[in-house]
Amino acid sequence: MLAWAKNQKIGLSMVKFYGDPAADLTKALEMEMTHPGPPSDGIIGRCKRHAIYAVDGEIRVVNVSESEEDPAGDKDPSATLADSMIEAIKTSL
């Protein structure tokens, strides 16, 4: 996680990266990707590409980038990018 944070140049920002090696959080959030693609590539327990907006521990917005043709959301992550999240947050207010 430290190497990723360094690569993304987050420095002393408020952004924190955390691992989920046993997929406990992934499963609790029901974000485990069950499509057969990742396990066939040796990626077991991968989480779906998602973004969450929470206030004081209350989840207000959850966006997931996935489709039948792109279960990982790699080809079209737009639902989880900043612009989509900002719009979703504005709508939720």
Residue 86 has pLDDT above 80, yes or no: yes
CA neighbor of 92 nearest in space, from 40, 41, 55: 55
pTM value is: 0.79
The tens digit of pLDDT for each residue in 23-77 reads: 999 999 999 988 776 566 666 678 899 999 999 999 999 999 998 888 888 899 9
Model confidence at 16, pLDDT cuts 50, 70, 90, reads: confident
